[in-house]
Chain A
Amino acid sequence: MSTFGGIELGKRALQTQQKSLNITGHNIANANNEKYSRQRAVQSATDPYTLASLYNPAGAGQVGTGVYIKSIMRMRDQFIDTRIRYENQGYGEWSVRKENLRQIESIYNELDNGGVKNNLDRFFQSFHDLVRDAESSNSVRESVIQNAITLTTQLNHIDRSLMEFRDHLGSEIEYKVAEVNDLAKRIAALNKQIKIIESDPTKKANDLADERDALIDELAKIVDIQVRFDSYNQANISLNGLGIVNGITANELEYSLIAEDRTSIDGVLYENVFDKYVFSVNGNQARIDSGEIYGLIAVREDIVDQKMNKLDLLARTLIEEVNAVHRRGYGKKDLPGPGNDYEEGGVSRNFFLGTDASNIKVNDDPVNGIIGRPENIAAAPRTEDINNDGENDLIGDQSIALEIAQLRDKSIAALGSTSFNDFWQTQVSELGIEISRAEAMESNQNILLESLKDKRQEVSGVNLDEEMTEMIKFQHGYSAAARVITVIDQMLDTLINGTR
């Protein structure tokens, strides 16, 4: 041990305590940074000095030379990270599902007075009124027409809203894909910086790793990724086997839309109406099985399509059933006679026109239509005009209107042997149950995720009390080291100035 070795030792001690204090300061500064993992200085004794002596070159043991900071450790549990990423996928999927199903629910707006169910009720009720009020003016007939128009407009509106919502979900998917690519690029860039720093094994890119892990968490919420770290602490990320981040390069996730023909449940062919998203990485088709994008696709391509299909079915069946009865009837001014070569039983006038929910409307033909011509509602099953007043004498019997009113309770094979109302209510309740399921799943995932995040906080979070304690510890360490230097200084003073 040299004369001034003690001062060197004291200096090292001061530096180490100071550095440690800095790290504590860094921890305190980042106490509210959610991405941050607390750091610890790993202190280690410097290489000891072996005393040489006359008989024993190794002397009586070794003399310590002080302390240095061996590394700065990032307190992080990779296992919890993996689990958080996994649960994040489920959370992303179900929260997106819940939000978007809610949107469909508000498009339906069923509990409100204006829901389809209420409009169906009103439509059929007005036919009941028509049965009772055969001979009065056209006001009851007008109200039949108005209720029918309200119903058809609403069906059109829901159909259009669902279509628009479908498009909206499409652009949401595209936006999420762009987000995936942006995140992948940023992760690759961070990988590069981390690699440069950590190729020196004594250095750890702790703060950059925090930043990158947070990005990976975000990415995991959007798509189901697998993460692997290599020896340079680079994160390699793959999407069901296809690499989207390989070290310092990011591969673009691409999408394309494939238009599809689709046959509806009751066998009607829709050409090119529905389209499907297909994803690829580097030209290889990619599978997405979980996360927000999957949730969006599930809502768009399963639920919305199915709901539109069922809405079309409802509209189509309504058109067919009401028309089939209405065609057998006669209006107020449909009289037998030359030129009026009616088919057997009825004037064959359609009440509704159109083929599905997008185009259903009340017959608005300028001659033979119903809108603006209430007398054309064919409510009577027979016609004759013996008194030659130009009006159907048999108007008192409105049993065609009664038959239409009774369609409400008829169980219709095309609707799975249910009535219109029950069919629609099934749709609505299915959606409601789907939403409550999504809500329950979301809240489960959320609880899981929160508890995992708590676990992560347990390891990585900053506890201010703990840091303050550390601070005091290092402060005292620093003071004591300074005192050591003072004492050595006094010793040297005695040695140098006291001996003359």
Chain B
Amino acid sequence: MSRITNNMIISSFLSNFTRSQKNLNKYMEQLTTGERFSRISDEPINAVKAMKLETMLKFNDKYVENAEEGINWLNVTDKALDDVVKTLRKLRDSAVKAANGTMTPDDRLKIKQEVDQLKEHLIDVANSRYGNAYIFNGAKTRIQPYKNVDSTDPSAYVGEGGLSNEKLLRELGAGITIEVNVTGAEIGFGQIFADLQGFSNALENNDTDTLETMMGTIDKHIESVLGARAQVGSRQTRLELTVDRFTSQEIAYADILNKTKGTDIAETIMKLKNEENVYRIALATGARIIQPTLMDFLR
């Protein structure tokens, strides 16, 4: 028969009691912090998983910021191109009017004034900015790309700092980049300005031969600008889809993250309640067992 000694009873009571208290403390901590673990070693696998998810969420935010900035940038570009197309259409109407044989040189001079105004407007548009950045000058975002001169040479319109054809990239995911800018050269602003100057000169000189070709020239430009606009539109769509994707991913990741490290409140409260019972019972049993010895029955 194995002997049981008083010390054995007390020490086993104490160790059970401490364990119960430890558990109570653990559940309490989990409930008050809302997190299942406070140290990696508590649950190494889940902790590292949570860390990974947190990083993914953080960089998702960056990618969304990148994409949203790209969208804004492209919106400005799109508005500018829209403006260019509308202006070119007006100029086309003028070209149609000016080519009409019934026009007098005086009438044509009036049209010339309008053309000059519209050309100036187009140069303004070509110098559009997003924030502080010139959107049609590639990498030279600080530098105004075009200036207004009266020349039929396309290169004469280039500003003091020169033109840049660089593409500006934004990252939309690990290793995935997208161009956010359209360069002035792609749209052919220089040629547009030069041709408009030719238009204006022809109006001034009553050069009907040139005026007759002008409509076709402007149509060509409208087409190429529309082509650039279509590109912008498709990039906008891609960026918007990216934002949507990241936003729904974020919800999914946040949910997984919560499951990985968050406390399951209902479960933990149940466990806490259960442990509370164990704790009470341990106390009650301890009080009963430890107290009486034979001494209580001897006089």
Contact = CB atoms under 8 A, between A and B. Distances in A.
A131 interface: yes
Contact of A464 (B3, B164, B295): B295
Nearest to B38: A111
B204 interface: no
Contact of B48 (A32, A136, A396, A428): A428
Interface string B1-33: 011111110011001000000000000000000
Contacts of A34: 7
Identify whether the interface residues of A are mostly helix, strand, loop, or mixed.
helix
Interface in B232-288: none
B175 interface: yes
B119 to A, nearest CB: 24
Given A431-B40, A433-B44, A393 B166 contact: no
Interface residues of B, number: 56
A387 B134 CA distance: 15
Contact of B41 (A31, A405, A436, A459): A436
B36 to A, nearest CB: 11
Interface in B21-70: 37-42, 44-45, 47-48, 51-52, 55, 58-59, 62, 65-66, 69
Contacts of B65: 128, 132
A135 B160 contact: no
A457 B167 CA distance: 82
A450 B16 CA distance: 12
Contact of B160 (A132, A386, A391, A453): A386
Interface in B130-147: 131-133, 137-143
B15 A31 contact: no
A128 B171 contact: yes
Contact of B141 (A395, A425, A450): A395
A457 B7 contact: yes
Given A396-B142, A468-B298, A134 B133 contact: yes
Contacts of B169: 131, 399, 402
A111 B40 CA distance: 7
B44 A432 contact: yes
Contacts of A457: 3, 5, 7-8
A464 B5 CA distance: 7
B141 A135 contact: yes
Nearest to B35: A111
Contact of B52 (A425, A461, A465): A425
Contacts of B160: 386-387
B6 A463 contact: yes
Nearest to A463: B5
Contacts of B59: 121, 125, 408
Contact of B55 (A102, A121, A386, A393): A121
Given A125-B59, A393-B161, A428-B51, A387 B143 contact: yes
A164 interface: no
Contact of B293 (A386, A439, A468): A468
Contact of A134 (B12, B141, B298): B141
A328 interface: no
Contacts of B118: none
B177 interface: yes
Contact of B66 (A128, A387, A391, A432): A128
A344 B200 CA distance: 47
A397 interface: yes
Contacts of B58: 121, 125
A468 B142 CA distance: 99
B39 A462 contact: no
A396 B39 contact: no
A254 B134 CA distance: 76
Contacts, number: 177
A132 B170 contact: yes
Most chain B beta-carbon neighbours within 10 Å: one of A117, A128, A432, A472: A432
B162 interface: yes
A137 to B, nearest CB: 9
Contacts of A387: 143, 160-162
A111 B166 CA distance: 42
Contact of A469 (B37, B41, B177, B294): B294
A393 B162 contact: yes
B35 to A, nearest CB: 9
Given A135-B132, A396-B168, A463-B6, A382 B139 contact: yes
Nearest to A117: B51
Interface in A443-474: 450, 453-454, 457-459, 461-466, 468-469, 472
A429 interface: yes
B4 A463 contact: yes
B106 to A, nearest CB: 42
A98 to B, nearest CB: 9
A409 interface: yes
A421 B131 CA distance: 34
B48 A462 contact: no
A135 B62 CA distance: 19
B56 to A, nearest CB: 10
B41 A105 contact: yes
A462 B140 contact: no
A429 B174 contact: no
Contact of B295 (A102, A384, A429, A468): A468
B22 to A, nearest CB: 12
A65 B65 CA distance: 105
A406 interface: yes
B164 A393 contact: yes
Nearest to A399: B169
A363 to B, nearest CB: 24
A115 B6 CA distance: 49
Contacts of B161: 386-387, 393
A358 B143 CA distance: 43
A110 interface: yes
A458 B6 CA distance: 10
A394 interface: yes
Contact of A402 (B40, B166, B171): B171
A387 B161 CA distance: 4
Interface in A363-415: 380, 382, 384, 386-387, 391, 393-397, 399, 402, 405-406, 408-409
Nearest to A405: B171
B174 A409 contact: yes
Interface string A420-436: 01000100110111011
Interface of B: 2-8, 11-12, 15, 37-42, 44-45, 47-48, 51-52, 55, 58-59, 62, 65-66, 69, 131-133, 137-143, 160-162, 164, 166-171, 174-175, 177, 293-295, 298
Interface of A: 31-32, 34, 101-102, 105, 108, 110-111, 117, 121, 125, 128, 131-132, 134-136, 380, 382, 384, 386-387, 391, 393-397, 399, 402, 405-406, 408-409, 421, 425, 428-429, 431-433, 435-436, 439, 450, 453-454, 457-459, 461-466, 468-469, 472
Given A396-B137, A429-B47, 6 more contacts: A110-B47, A111-B39, A128-B62, A405-B171, A461-B8, A465-B294
7 contacts: A117-B55, A132-B65, A395-B140, A429-B48, A435-B41, A458-B5, A462-B7
Task: Name the 8 nearest CB pairs between A and B, nearest first.
Answer: A396-B141, A432-B44, A461-B5, A397-B139, A435-B41, A432-B40, A387-B161, A468-B294
